[in-house]
Structure 1
Amino acid sequence: MSARHTGLGALAILSWGTLGALGAFSASLPPYLVLTFCFAVAAAMGLVICAATGRKPVRLLDRRTVLFAGLLAAYHLVYLEAFHHAAPIPVSLINYLWPACLIILGNLYFQLRSGFPGYLGAALGFVGVLVLIGKDGFVLQLSEAFGYGLAFVGALLWATFSNLRRHDSSDAISAMTTICFASSLICGLWWMANGANLPALTAQDVWVIAALGLGPAGGAFFLWDLGMRQGHAALLGVLGYSAPVLSTILMLVLGLGQPGWKVFAAIALITLGGIVVQIGTSATSSGKLKASAR
């Protein structure tokens, strides 16, 4: 495993720590407009990398490419739409249940076999979210329930995407370049189907779209794929659960939420759940290796 590629994966995690804040700043714009340009920026980056390294993007009409692009576009559409219906910090943290969803769906449908630690970590994450969105106990704030639901659907979609990508053998850069291009087309078609109205963009709007495309909603996908395939995957798994902490702290600093015990309790529980999942998964893998060596 390469320390350099592990570092690339860590950069992706740092980038994802800005997704909540950037998503909140883009809430005044149609999500499909934002994503059309974000994925186009990411695809352009991929094409430059492919040209510089002698790679060739995978076929656009490949069945797997269409599936991955559909999941990627759907995830980001529902995630950004959630910011229109609920407060940004709860939306961001509910979305960060995707690692727990990844474990549960992976065990049920993708032969992940994480065992009991996986389910324990998932449960801790869900408790953390209940603490965060509860009011006077564990009662949902019905006025924001639709936004919560969209954020959770996003977590399920990203978990499904990640499990499927884990089993894909194509080159990370070549595949993600075409996937991002196809995702841009999907979002563009959706935008056109809904009138394709181009609102007056402020300088901040342009900056936010560019930042999303270069970072958490584009460039980070390439870094993460490289890190997971050629870096220290177990270490990146643990570091990945720092994303909700980074995201929430950044949003609090930017004035997008109010600090309180519920926020920090939710952060602690979700992060602890992630650590339990990763340690349990690593221990299971280590046990299997020892057993096979006997």
Structure 2
Amino acid sequence: MQNRPLSNRISTGWIPLGAAGAAVVLWGCLPALRLMIGDQPPFLTATIALVAAAVMETLRSWVVVLRHPELDTGHRPLSFGRGLGLALGLIGAIGFYFIGLDRAPAAQVTLITYVWPLMFVMASEVLDTGRLRALAICGGAVAFLGSAVLILGTGSGAVTADRVMGYAAGLLSGLSWVVYSLMLKRGGQLGPDAWPRIFTLAAVGAGLCHFALEPVALTFDPRGFAVAAAIGLGPYGIAFIAWAYGVAKGPSRTVGTMAYGVPVVATALLASIGATELTWKLLLGATLVMGGIVIASRNDEFGMRLLSLIPRRLRRTAP
């Protein structure tokens, strides 16, 4: 069998995984950055972040096209429907996540939100093969058990209606991530001129949500504005582009499961600045969530090894 050139192996292997890994680290910084903003409304924060991302991507796309005109060709044109769908995915992923962080403990919300890689893997399997593996179902059960531990074991505080709304917002953020990632995977790679339009559409939508759903901010907070802009440039600018490249070019199962590293990074940062306490319930819930995602991502050979641990006499009676 003829080996592929090294450059091809790198571009189709390590570079997409490296891009997805960089996005994971940037997203892990989000809860700590959100704490620096204070009481700024969630959708206002999302609007500022998306405007900053749109400006950055506009400048980047100009530079890319000027230096490499050939990169502006060969991509599927961005239709209005796909652009609107991706923009709505961004609004949901960002806005609901910030709502969750405002209403419930940051570490738990982040872990619940990042059950979405499991949902992405399961949805991809159903769309690709028309069926769902037993390991995916088993992993899903373990991960959602971990989510229950996180919700019920919130430490010193009771499970209030406000916290439940925060956890629900975190889950909605995760579902938005699934839709966004599936649209990226199924629609082909985007050209450099597509991202400014997507971020601009998302910024307009987030701004409308702010005016419609939140008290309009009448004062200017330089610190909150600066941190929100930094979020737009990093976690919701560079990270989204890197993730899009990883999803489009890398293996769905591997790239999807990399995202379970976000809660690890986020929880470590929150603990390092004293913003969360590493209780045994938090660690147990995190272990179950991430363990379930790992189980669901494993291949059928791994499942056969697990099955081999069951005595043959019992396997005959299994359904």
Q: TM-score, normalised by structure 2?
A: 0.78
Aligned length: 281
Q: Are 2:245 and 1:226 aligned?
A: yes
Amino acid at match of 1:79: Y
Shift of 1:10: 1.2
Structure 1 runs not aligned, ≥5 long: 285-294
Aligned to 2:6: none
Q: Is the 8 A contact 2:82 2:183 kept in 1?
A: no
Local SS of the residue matching 1:218: helix
| Residues 152-188 of structure 1 deviation map (CA, whole Å, 9 limit, x = unaligned) | 1211221122122210114264433321111001112
Q: CA deviation at 1:61?
A: 7.1
CA apart distance, 1:62: 0.8
| Residues 128-143 of structure 1 mapped to structure 2, 5 A cutoff | 128-135=146-153, 141-143=159-161
Conserved? CA contact 1:82–1:148, under 8 Å: yes
* 1:119 maps onto 2:137 in alignment: yes
**In 1, Cα distance between equivalents of 2:196 and 2:131:** 30
CA contact (8 A) 1:114 1:281 kept: no
Q: CA deviation at 1:147?
A: 1.1
**Residue in structure 2 matched with residue 256 of structure 1 by the alignment:** 275
Given candidates 54, 76, 81, the residue that maps to 2:94 is 76
- The separation in 1 between residues aligned to 2:180 and 2:247, in whole angstroms, is 14
Q: Aligned pair 1:51/2:62, yes or no?
A: yes
- What is aligned with 1:102? 120
| Matched residue, 2:206 | 187
Q: State the 1:15 CA deviation.
A: 0.7
2:105 aligns to what? 87
1:208 to 197, 209, 227: 227
Which one of 236, 257, 261 corresponds to residue 242 of structure 1?
261
Counterpart in the other structure of 2:217: 197
Partner of 1:65: 83
Q: 1:282 to 1:3 in 2, by over 3 A?
A: farther
Find the aligned partners of 1:4 and 1:260 in 2 and give their Cα distance. 36
The structure-2 alpha-carbon separation of the partners of 1:282 and 1:101, relative to structure 1 and needing over 3 Å to count, comes to: farther
Query: Residues 181 and 247 of structure 2 are in contact (CA less than 8 Å); yes or no, is this contact kept in structure 1?
Result: no
Q: Report if the CA contact (8 A) 2:188-2:248 is conserved.
A: no
Q: Which amino acid aligns with 1:65?
A: G
State the one-letter code of the partner of 2:217.
N
What's the CA shift for 1:128? 1.2
RMSD: 2.9
Paired residues of 2:36 and 2:227 also in contact (CA < 8 A): yes
Give, in whole Å, the separation in 2 of the partners of 1:40 and 1:15.
18
Tell me the percent identity. 25
Match 1:13 to one of 19, 24, 31: 24
Identify the range of structure 1 (48-57 vs 250-259) with the bigger mean alpha-carbon deviation. Answer: 48-57
Instruction: Describe the SS at the equivalent of 1:215.
Output: helix
Contact 2:20 2:258 in 1 (8 A): no
| Structure 1 residue 190, shift from structure 2 partner | 2.6
Q: Which runs of 4+ in 1 moved over 6 A?
A: 56-61, 281-284
Residues 200-239 of structure 1 deviation map (CA, whole Å, 9 limit, x = unaligned): 3143x23421221122222211011112333465543443
Amino acid at match of 1:214: L
Counterparts in 2 of 1:186 and 1:166: CA distance versus 1, 3 Å: same
Deviations 1:110-141 (A, max 9, x none): 7674512222222221111111222499xx81
Assess, with a 3 A threshold, how the Cα gap between structure 1 residues 131 and 102 changes in structure 2: closer, same or farther: same
